[in-house]
Amino acid sequence: MEKNIAVIRGDGIGPEIVREALLVLDKICDIYGHKFNYTEVKMGGCAIDEFGEPLPDSELSKCIASDSVLLGAVGGSKWDTVPGHLRPEKGLLKLRSGMGVYSNNRPAKIWPQLASASPLKTEIVEKGIDFIIVRELIGGIYFGKHETYDENGEKKAVDELVYRESEIERIGRIGFETAQKRNKKLCSVEKSNVLDSSRLWKDVMHRIAADYPDVELTDMLVDNCAMQIVKDPSQFDVIVTENMFGDILSDEASQITGSIGMIPSSSLGATSCGLYEPIHGSAPDIAGKDLANPIGTILSAAMMLRFSFDMVEEADAIEKAVSKTLDKGYRTQDIKTKGATDLIRVGCREMGQLIIDNIK
């Protein structure tokens, strides 16, 4: 099978972690007889440096024309002083909107080998951490109107949060369908005691619930959800929520699994062309030092094979290789438990090679 993959290395540690993921994909090609064609795309700070904007239309077109997109990370302090509409992160928003990927799916699953790396108490971790956050990705406050102006002698900033019924329904159905494939429990997270947009969210979720009688739907306010994720994460199966809430909760969820460097994500829309990326940032403080954890990016590549290319066996092979590598005690700095003498610290490149060597 031949597939075209747009590759966005990005900024900071992005080029390092993407390099390892591509080498893993190359190994999959060797074993299974596939051919992946890579098209380089510049987005983020590196695009600002070259083109003067975070994602030119010409670069976006490469992504839309591909079968899928693999992204490292964008941003960094180097571009903190550029105007707001030219920040590296604006390229990511443009990419998501341009591709029409409205559903961001972030698993929060603790690998058994990393149980001791979780900041939670042992008795909480032992109950299990295995849920997924389905986040609406191209609506809400991130895509509303943003303005800052003078009023009565002081600065005033306004950010607009807008949701339409159709936007809520389409992400809600993704949440229900995801729950049907798991343990049939869906928690809808909002702030309906304060926000009109959340009250509409809750109304729509309960309306469409009638179409999924096999799924148990519960409601939870976002502040309570943030507490429950650290108090008893085992209660969750699938969480569906709006853009900003999902952004915050998924980062919290990643930390209880031991390291944000382990968590992949997929962003999907109406077509099979998806956007796959680790959920961590560009970490410019460790860029170029061979300290980054490439596993989140490698697992994102596995998600791409599974969800966009229907290569289930190949995705399984990558995930098993990651597990086997962890079983042997290899750890990057972010997942090496302090005081553990039986673990072997490795860098980004060595971790990638170890996983490649374990793909069968």
Q: Which two tokens stand for residue 311?
A: 């290569």
Pair 42, 48: CB distance under 8 Å = no
Separation of alpha carbons 351 and 203, rounded Å: 47
Q: Tell me which amino acid residue 42 is.
A: K
Question: Directed axis angle between helix 57-64 and helix 88-99, to 10°?
Answer: 40
Identify the active-site residue in 11, 237, 247, 334: 247
Count H helices and E strands in the chain, helices first. Answer: 12, 14
Separation of alpha carbons 297 and 275, rounded Å: 12
Identify the active-site residue in 223, 232, 285, 310: 223
Q: Tell me which amino acid residue 61 is.
A: S
Dihedral angle sign, alpha carbons of residues 278, 173, 189, 196: positive
| SS3 at position 262 | helix
Active site residue 223: yes
The secondary structure of residue 323, as a DSSP letter, is H
Identify the active-site residue in 26, 130, 219, 251: 251
Separation of alpha carbons 246 and 239, rounded Å: 9
CA separation, residue 88 to residues 81, 218, 222, 235, 314 (Å)? 11, 37, 28, 36, 33
Active site residue 211: no
Active site residue 191: yes
Q: What's the half-sphere exposure (Cβ side, CA atoms, 13 Å) at 161?
A: 13
Identify the active-site residue in 109, 184, 185, 191: 191
Identify the active-site residue in 11, 102, 142, 163: 142
What amino acid positions are annotated as catalytic residues?
142, 191, 223, 247, 251
